Structure 1
Amino acid sequence: MEFVKWMDELPFIGKLLLSLPIVDLTWAIYRIIKGVNNKNNGLLIVGILWVVFGSYALWLVDFITTIILGKPVLTDNLE
């Protein structure tokens, strides 16, 4: 899907900005779409949970892991 590819190819600063509160919803949508595309229920569930709890606390996890790893945590396929 084009959205997933676009998100994967974002530069570091773009990924970091999308990890901030409220805008972190973008990463939740990314996880949901990627989970549906790859038929991965684990990633889909994480994406849904990120929608619910992301703007409260999980945005900080995305922000820190983006700084450390270069991308938010739990955006790869969960087995």
Structure 2
Amino acid sequence: MGYILWVFGFMGAHRFYYGRPITGTLYFFTLGLFLIGWIVDLFLIPGMDRSADRSYVSGATDYTVAWILLTFLGVFGLHRFYMGKWVTGILYLLTGGVLLLGVIYDYWTLNRQISEKNAALFRS
């Protein structure tokens, strides 16, 4: 999934996916550090993947599915419905992802949201 998002990486998608929202935002506003950082990241993805695997709890809610839904259908809130957040999913659906601000928030926090949801299932 990381390499697929890397194709859109000049917009920072793969950086957000691997839990690096600050550099994801930087890439978004600089087109992947003027495409130079984007090319370098082709070789850094395996390390970012290992780091993300250690940082986030896997479980019933799949990161890849949630990220695909956020990346391509985030303004409709489908990633929120997938995570069981029905109220905010409906809110996103009716407001275009709360005028895109909610979508940006989810780019910053989606991995943490999923990790917390998966960890809560283990505690139950």
Query: Shorter-chain TM-score: what band?
Result: 0.3 to 0.5
Give the TM-score, by structure 2 length: 0.28
Give the TM-score, by structure 1 length: 0.39
Which fold has the larger relative contact order, with Cα–Cα distance below 8 Å and residues 6 or more apart in sequence? Answer: 1
More helix by share: 2
